[in-house]
Amino acid sequence: MVASPTTTLDRLRRYLRQNHSRLRSAPTQAEQIELLAQAQQSPVEDSVASLKVVEHATMQAVPVRPVSQSNALRHFLDGIQRQRILYYEGVVPVFYAYLSAVVRSRVDRRMCCLQDGSPLQQRDALYAPLRYVDVEGLRQHGISLRDTEPGDPLPSHPALIQQASNRISNDRELLERELAQQWLHWLRQQGSDDWLVVDGGIAELASTMPDAHLIGLAKTSTGVERALSPEQMQAVYGLHKGERSSVFAITRAGQPAVYSWFLRLHDPTKGSLLYGLLRVEIPAAESLLAHVDALSAWLMEDRVPLSVPDTRYDRLLYPMRDCEQYLRALAPSTAQLEALAQMV
Amino acid sequence: MSTPATDKPIGRVVGTERKPNTAFTFNFWCTPDAPVGIGTIVVVRGESRTVWGVVTEGFGYNDLETPIYDYIGSDGVAEAESPTLRPEMHLYVASVLRQQPEEPVQPPPIAPVYLADELDVRMALRMDAFTPYAIPAGVYRNGETLSPITLDSRFLLGPDAGHLNVTGTSGLAAKTSAIMFLLQAIFQKLPGDESVAALLFNVKGGDLLFIDLPPEDGFLTEQDRRMYDVLGVVPKPFERVVYYAPFKQDRVNLNTLRSHPDLRYNVLPLHWGLKEVLDYTEVMLNRDDIDVKADAFLQFIKQRAVDPGKFEFDQEEQQAGAPAMMPVTNFAELSAWLDTVLRIAEKRGREAWRSHAYPTIRKVYNRLSNLTTRYRGLIGESGFISDLPERFEDRTVYVIDVSQLEQEEQDLIITRVIAELRKRMESHRLGVDHLIVVVDELNKYAPSFGKETYMLRTLLDITERGRYLGLVLFGAQQFRSQVERRVAGNCATSLYGRIEMEELAQPGYSVFGQAVKEKLAACEPGEVLVRHPHFTQPIFVRFPRPCFLRGSEGIRRYPPQEKPFDVAVWETLRELDPTLEYLQVKAVIDDLAAYSNGLDEDRVSEAMHRVLLERPEPSRVLERFRAHLPKKVASSILTTPTGLTGPAFNPANGEDFDPDDPFAGL
């Protein structure tokens, strides 16, 4: 049974109380923000191996018209991670990370958690190169550990931070994927035609469920944009509010193809070229192409309510923000983690 | 005891750094559909602490930071419907009513919040501490569940605390209805070994003139009956009621709307004489009339003539024509005595008499002799007194009907009755353990501004000491801010019905939060906010309509009937001699009319009052009535002026003498 965050924090508190004299304190949360930002400066963008327009001969703008079917974007999945260096064992940073993912469902226009489908996943653990920390002592206290596998010799301090951050992010993505798969299975068991909306790409998921009613929403698409030809770029960036691009297939290395299209949610005259420009992914199944117009229309409906005050409100659907807010409410607070770190 | 309304929590306590909980207030959220509002009693059940509170403020939130976002999101289209609704919640502020354990006093725990069930309401308001003394005041409504709210009789009627003050806009079933229901509850629920009576003034219409009669069918609603049932009070009219009213101008018919023959059996006249009113010249006379000199002479009259009931003139005064002694027991005798005093003074060249100046004596004479005319139905010449009983009786309501009177008559009656009760209170002569006196329009009798009047001093004394001595004030007014602070402040229990916003803006209401004030401004009929010493916070309660015949319906069913003069005289005298025939009385009155050149009603009513004062044997009633009427004088035509010197003047025999009459003494 996985310990709850509260339990883990209690165990950590006991451990730190016993070992604080031997450990070294971590920077404050404010100081860590800069450290972690530097570690995440060069994100690995999945480069697109191929991009092929499948709907039309060339990339075009297609007006999105309202559809008669009621909005079937019923389930929304997102995850969060909260992390901080808790202490140093020698020169090795030991991270505490809390990861969670949730599926929030829209019932009678209200967002909620359906209790039947186990909609919430939470995990927390210490992330560190385990060879360099007091594994035995931590395990005796029942604290979950994740190895950042640094290799030999011990990497530099920035590299250790980078590795831990990557490992935490990967674990969060994995958690989201597991929950998505579980939820899609559950929907299938229910005989439901509802769609599950996830944050980001869906290629990994589509590999196991190629015809699932699954839709991914990418707020940033640097890789795909790089793969666009100048004409295609012209068509995509020239989309007006309520227009979508032609559907195209994209393939990334080691991943199955997915169908994708751009959709302009808001009038770009109010912002930059990318203002309100959302990229949508669905599994590359021919049968799903028939749903593109309806999906686009439903996404347009979901422009309201606005996800303000989130700065990404032009591309962040309100139900996705609701998932984030829900998870943030459950996560250990910054004050809790700060208090824990100050025990050292 | 009913089962808990619900076992499901309706919200959770929240405390933030910006808005923390304290030992006396706490915040909790609820879903918008939770049945919570201002005045709702809730309970926080923590692991080791239970806290009861009453909701005093509410806020509604969704996750919108500013209104402009909603405008932008809907493209300015008001009817636009989004596929997702923003989460909405209500945040409530509750004031702590009670905690368990009581010590140490702490902020409530962050724990689930439940609606209070009946047991919780009892605990929250500490009603468990005074069960044997519980007086039902109304019900607290939680959805369909009604919980009784009771007051501690020791804090309502004394001796621990006492008095009630009711504030509310007139005509919205707050003040009178609340008091009447409470009186019925007191009569039924006060322990049997404690006696209680109530004295009310009916100041308008027939509001309180039929409280001993059942209401019309269907008057009590199902909801009213449920409340009576929950409170354990039997819905019934008052069983023992005595009504009092002064006479009309004819001095034989009673000046009340309860004059239907079927209802006369418990209506008594209220009629006073000289002794009863002389203490209240401050009320009866114009302020300009009572200067220091007049006041001194009035005191002289009271102490030297009226209190002893007679006045003895000295030798010198007797030489000036005064008799040795004159009785001064009623207005007629007082007039004669003053005549004598003035005559003596005139014989001395209008000099001062016993250090009182002639003009002062004449002024007092004029004012006092005028009283029986100004207060014609209330104050009589003869000395016939019909007043409140010597001792009040248990579980009896005494209603004095002043509704048909002029303002000055109302003021005199209320002032004199209250003062009389205070005197009886001091000498332990009330006859009951608790006498409740109900005074409406308290702002008139105990105003917060102006001169300290006799009435104000009396009311202050009653509210300060009455609870120890068994006299309890139930005061009511539309504007509490206009009532003397000490009078209202001495009332341990207060009820607030619907109150206008202008009044609520007064400093006295600053103890209530804005939401409570707004609820007060829109209070429904039959709903009041209760403050009571046992309740840490005021509580909104509902009370059923009192179960008696409304004034308007009573007047429709029993229309007032003014009797012809002779019939009214006959009916009054028949109370002394039930065998008396109408025609016998009529014959006497007709005789007088025949030889007096027309009917002199004053003479007849005066004779009737004298008979009532004498209370002769039944067989002698008619004879005494005739004896008090003017006698027929044998007349003859004078042919010569011989002997026209007139009879000798003897005021002791009640003979008239007018010094300004040029024919006097002829």
List, as one string, the DSSP characters of B352-380: -BTTB-HHHHHHHHHHHHHHHHHTTTTB-
Instruction: Check whether B643 has a pLDDT greater than 60.
Output: no
**Nearest-CA neighbor of A235 among A272, A199, A262, A205?**
A262
Query: Would the CB atoms of A306 and B73 count as touching at under 8 Å?
Result: yes
Q: Between A100 and B412, where is the model more confident? A: A100
The CA distance from B111 to B506, in Å, is: 37
Nearest neighbour of B69 by CB, restricted to A73, A110, A306 = A306
Helices assigned H by DSSP within A120-274:
135-140, 157-190, 203-208, 222-227, 230-237
pLDDT band at B4 (very low <50, low <70, confident <90, very high): very low
Query: Would the CB atoms of B83 and A109 count as touching at under 8 Å?
Result: yes
Instruction: Give contacts of B65 with chain A, Cβ < 8 Å.
Output: 308-309
CB contact, 8 Å: A76 with chain B? Answer: no
Q: Which residues pair with A111 in a beta bridge?
A: A106
Query: What tens digit of pLDDT does each residue of A265-322 get?
Result: 998 876 688 999 999 999 999 999 999 999 999 999 998 888 888 888 899 999 999 9
| Å between B88 CA and nearest CA of chain A | 10
> A83-97, A152-166, B4-18, B568-582: which range is least confident on average?
B4-18
**Nearest-CA neighbor of B472 among B492, B455, B444, B454?**
B492
- β-pairing, A258-264 vs B527-531, is unpaired
Rounded (10°) angle between helices B621-628 and B565-574 = 130
pLDDT band at B666 (very low <50, low <70, confident <90, very high): very low
Instruction: For chain B, give every domain's residue range.
Output: 11-121, 175-264+386-444+468-478+544-561, 275-374, 565-633
The answer to whether B168 and B497 are in contact (CB under 8 A) is yes
pLDDT confidence of residue B189: 96
Query: Would the CB atoms of A301 and B83 count as touching at under 8 Å?
Result: yes
The CA distance from A299 to A66, in Å, is: 10
Q: Between A340 and B660, where is the model more confident? A: A340
Chain A, nearest residue to B64 by Cα:
A308
Query: Would the CB atoms of A305 and B80 count as touching at under 8 Å?
Result: no
Rounded (10°) angle between helices A29-39 and A334-341 = 100
Q: Which residue has the tokens 């004031």?
A: B95
Burial of B431 (0-12, 13-18, 19+ CB in 10 A): middle
- Cβ atoms within 10 Å, residue B241: 21
The CA distance from B580 to B445, in Å, is: 44
pLDDT band at B610 (very low <50, low <70, confident <90, very high): confident
Q: Between B652 and B296, where is the model more confident? A: B296
How much is the average pLDDT of B37-45?
95
The CA distance from B56 to B54, in Å, is: 6
Say how many CA atoms lie within 13 Å of B535 toward its Cβ: 26
The CA distance from B350 to B357, in Å, is: 8
CB contact, 8 Å: B82 with chain A? Answer: yes
Burial of B640 (0-12, 13-18, 19+ CB in 10 A): exposed
Q: Which residue has the tokens 């996560």?
A: A331
Q: Between B654 and B308, where is the model more confident? A: B308
CB contact, 8 Å: B308 with chain A? Answer: no
How much is the average pLDDT of A33-55?
74
CB contact, 8 Å: A301 with chain B? Answer: yes
Query: What tens digit of pLDDT does each residue of A125-166 get?
Result: 999 999 999 999 999 999 999 999 877 788 888 889 999 999
pLDDT confidence of residue A197: 97
DSSP state of A312: T
Query: Would the CB atoms of A306 and B72 count as touching at under 8 Å?
Result: yes
CB contact, 8 Å: A324 with chain B? Answer: no
How much is the average pLDDT of B423-428?
86
Structure tokens of B185? 């509850």
Which residues lie below 8 Å from residue A254, measured CB to CB, with a gap of 6+? Answer: none
> A208-217, B71-80, B525-534: which range is least confident on average?
B71-80
How much is the average pLDDT of B568-582?
91
Tell me, what amino acid is at B525?
Answer: P
Chain A, nearest residue to B83 by Cα:
A109
ipTM: 0.79
pLDDT band at B2 (very low <50, low <70, confident <90, very high): very low
The CA distance from B71 to A275, in Å, is: 19
In three-state secondary structure terms, A342 is coil
Nearest neighbour of A309 by CB, restricted to B65, B70, B73 = B65
| Å between A296 CA and nearest CA of chain B | 14
In three-state secondary structure terms, B41 is strand
pLDDT confidence of residue B661: 57
| Å between A67 CA and nearest CA of chain B | 14
Instruction: Give contacts of A308 with chain B, Cβ < 8 Å.
Output: 64-65, 69, 73
Torsion region of A128: left, alpha or beta (phi above 0 gives left; psi -120 to 50 gives alpha): beta
How much is the average pLDDT of B606-624?
90
Query: Would the CB atoms of B84 and A308 count as touching at under 8 Å?
Result: no
How much is the average pLDDT of B446-468?
85
How much is the average pLDDT of B247-261?
91
Q: What angle do CA B539, B543, B544 make, to 5 degrees?
A: 170
- Say if residue B191 is preceded by a cis peptide, omega within 30 of 0: no
DSSP state of B265: G
C-alpha distances in Å from residue B65, one per residue of A301, B70, B138, B300, B360: 21, 9, 43, 81, 81
Query: What tens digit of pLDDT does each residue of B392-406 get?
Result: 999 999 999 999 998
Instruction: Give contacts of B84 with chain A, Cβ < 8 Å.
Output: 106, 109-111, 302, 305, 318-319, 322
CB contact, 8 Å: A112 with chain B? Answer: no
| Å between A343 CA and nearest CA of chain B | 23
Cα separation of the two ends of chain A: 29
Structure tokens of B662? 């040029």
Average pLDDT, chain A: 91
How much is the average pLDDT of B62-68?
85
The CA distance from A83 to A126, in Å, is: 9
pLDDT band at A1 (very low <50, low <70, confident <90, very high): very low
Nearest neighbour of A109 by CB, restricted to B70, B74, B84 = B84
Structure tokens of B242? 């005595």
Query: Would the CB atoms of A111 and B84 count as touching at under 8 Å?
Result: yes
Residue B659 phi, psi (nearest 5): -65, -20
Instruction: Check whether B1 has a pLDDT greater than 50.
Output: no
Length of chain A in residues, anyone? 344
Mutation for A interface: B72, B84, B110, most A CBs within 10 A: B84
Instruction: Give contacts of A304 with chain B, Cβ < 8 Å.
Output: 73-74, 80, 82-83
Nearest neighbour of B87 by CB, restricted to A111, A304, A306 = A111
Instruction: Give contacts of A305 with chain B, Cβ < 8 Å.
Output: 64, 69-70, 73, 82, 84, 86
Instruction: Give contacts of B74 with chain A, Cβ < 8 Å.
Output: 304
Instruction: Check whether B3 has a pLDDT greater than 50.
Output: no
Instruction: Check whether B144 has a pLDDT greater than 70.
Output: yes
The CA distance from A297 to B74, in Å, is: 16
Instruction: Check whether B545 has a pLDDT greater than 70.
Output: yes
CB contact, 8 Å: B86 with chain A? Answer: yes
Burial of B554 (0-12, 13-18, 19+ CB in 10 A): buried
CB contact, 8 Å: B71 with chain A? Answer: no
Nearest neighbour of A109 by CB, restricted to B73, B80, B85 = B85
Q: Which residue has the tokens 């005061």?
A: B475
Q: Between A203 and B660, where is the model more confident? A: A203
Q: Which regions of B406-526 does DSSP assign to beta strands (E)?
A: 434-439, 471-477, 493-496
Structure tokens of A334? 């910054």
- Cβ atoms within 10 Å, residue B191: 9
The CA distance from B627 to B199, in Å, is: 38
